[in-house]
Amino acid sequence: MTDPLHQSGIVVVDKPQGMTSHDVVARLRRFFSTRKVGHAGTLDPMATGVLVAGIGRGTKLLAHFVAHDKVYAATIRLGQATTTDDAEGEITSTVDASSISDEQIMTGVAALTGEIEQKPSSVSAIKIDGKRAHELVREGKQVDIPARPVTIFTFDVRAIRRHDQLIDVDVWVHCSSGTYIRALARDLGVALGVGGHLTALRREAVGSFTLDDATPLADLEAAPKFSLTIDEAMKRAWPVVEVNVDEYAALSMGKWLEPRGLKGVHAAVGADGRVVALIKEQGKRLSTVFVARPSTL
């Protein structure tokens, strides 16, 4: 019997600079000849790197990837602030940063590491009353997004490069979902009293999907292919738990099982190696979070 997911999968794109995430999705729709394409986690046009896309039923899985940790390599310019907190905006201030020492930079970075409250950039994709913040800004409206808790697991300084009055700081960041690297650049500049913005950003990983999995768009256009099947993606992203034939059938119908003492989300795999669902214990039930192979397919 043909697998109902044979035309579904995950594509990890190495997004080029200058394209929106929506642009990438539009290209993938053409490459794979389907409208059922989506992405997990927007990348700004300036940014490059890992963009996880779903094809077919893979689109239903994307919401579960969005919550995963992210890893970025970035360059922060100290001495200039911009309207967008990155190089795409207009410069709003220029301050001589040459007196800022390496030690001050390291102290500032340390203060932005760990569990912090972060105020997203006003030109983010966060929705306010049904409209994205950056759309409201373009309409000339004032946008004030409340600070939210995020976790910066690692904020490493890789290099400090001085250019007359400006300083470029190359950093490597491992952070929780919802973190804005532009906001880190802005807040570091504010803390040092000289302003700051992001001049380069490359996403190296979304959860367990890395640049090693990523394919340039030009290669996908020449030979469209999945980076991972739905099964490979779920087995990579979550711990696996085996289920028997009856349990497999029950989960395919969205039914719950008896608890097993599992912590967190697991991929339920049948004897044939196929994943039937993502499952999670909720109270006294082992319930489905996402059914990969519903009995109706």
d(CA 143, CA 266): 39
44 is catalytic: yes
d(CA 30, CA 12): 16
Cα Rg of the chain (Å, integer): 22
Catalytic pick among 3, 23, 44, 272: 44
d(CA 155, CA 106): 10
Contact 62, 54 (CB under 8 A): yes
Q: Angle at CA 153, nearest 5°, toward 147 and 155?
A: 90
Q: How far is CA 213 from the centre of its chain?
A: 15
d(CA 133, CA 27): 25
d(CA 118, CA 60): 29
Q: What is the DSSP letter of 261?
A: -
The catalytic residues are 44
